[in-house]
Structure 1
């Protein structure tokens, strides 16, 4: 059990039959009345962010999230298939549960499968991936405006913003948390 007075960013808790991760918290001590903790909580199953206030002495169970390395095999439209590389066990996860988590992941890439009480609720892609640009406008000589970008589609089908000098066939490094171009490989 963890009390609201001991909250930290990134902590996972069980609250109202859901699993939440603390995105942001603030201890508030008004001039009049009792102190409280204002939080922003991300529901790990739905991805929605809500704001809640707690009394500092309120206690709730800490949620233990299991992270298991698995290999992304393929998709058949509705289901995404993953394999444990040690035991060769395979699991299928519904597309609704994953959301945009796989938009930068290619087949055979390693991901972390997230589960709570043996119930899988999502995945964590690798922090950085290297993908090839398959579609983009050509850059023109003389386009030297500082910081100018153009849209590009990578081999997984996701669209990112890249500098004007990046051409078709270029392999780029991408931060999967923000979808930001980090450089050429």
Structure 2
């Protein structure tokens, strides 16, 4: 058990049998009336953000979460298969539980959040950014660099990313997995 005084970002709570991560919280002491805590909570299963206000000092059920590194192995009709990087135990995670799953490729290391008591995987987090090779994009027009124009490009995982005009097929680009945006070109294609 924890109280509202113990709240911190990333803490996991059990509310009516559902798990929520604290995205942000704020202790409020109004001039009149009792103090309270305003929170934004993210549902582990659905990913929806809800607002919840708690009276100060209320006891809540804290869920102990362990972060474990897992390496992506393959995908089939059961889900995404991962291997623990130390024990080589295999887990299967549903695609909805992985944020940025469209950028996942073989061998990527993800961090799984595991419920410590029941050993069930709650969510799986991709790295903040990944390096992917462009497999298809329209050629850019030479000299058309005056504007900050972007064009669609398909990367090796099949996802579509908007890249600058100078990027070509075979280039490796760094992509932000949280919003799918282009960050930089890492390696130029061999001509």
Deviation, 1:175, is 2.2
Deviation, 1:109, is 1.6
Q: Give the structure 1 partner of residue 107 of structure 2.
A: 108
SS in 1 for 2:102: coil
SS in 2 for 1:5: helix
Structure 1: where are the runs of 5+ without partners?
A: none
TM-score (norm 1): 0.88
CA contact (8 A) 2:66 2:113 kept: yes
CA RMSD, Structure 1 to Structure 2 (Å)? 2.0
Alignment of 1:41-52 (within 5 A): 41-52=41-52
Q: Which moved more, 1:83-92 or 1:52-61?
A: 83-92
Deviation, 1:74, is 0.7
Q: Give the structure 2 partner of residue 143 of structure 1.
A: 144
Q: 2:91 and 2:78 mapped to 1: Cα distance? A: 13
TM-score (norm 2): 0.85
Deviation, 1:21, is 1.3
Q: 1:27 and 1:83 mapped to 2: Cα distance? A: 40
Q: 2:95 and 2:184 mapped to 1: Cα distance? A: 30
Cα deviations by residue, 1:74-105 (Å, 9 ceiling, x for unpaired): 1113421111243332222233443x442212
Alignment of 1:86-97 (within 5 A): 86-97=86-97
Q: Give the structure 1 partner of residue 53 of structure 2.
A: 53
1:82 has 2:79 as partner: no
Q: Give the structure 1 partner of residue 162 of structure 2.
A: 161
SS in 1 for 2:103: coil
Q: Which moved more, 1:45-54 or 1:4-13?
A: 4-13
Q: 1:153 and 1:56 mapped to 2: Cα distance? A: 50
Cα deviations by residue, 1:104-150 (Å, 9 ceiling, x for unpaired): 12112221222113111221112221100112222112322433212
Q: 2:162 and 2:57 mapped to 1: Cα distance? A: 46
Detail structure 1 runs of 4+ shifted over 6 Å in the superposition: none
The number of aligned residues is 184
CA contact (8 A) 2:38 2:52 kept: yes
Q: Which moved more, 1:43-52 or 1:25-34?
A: 25-34
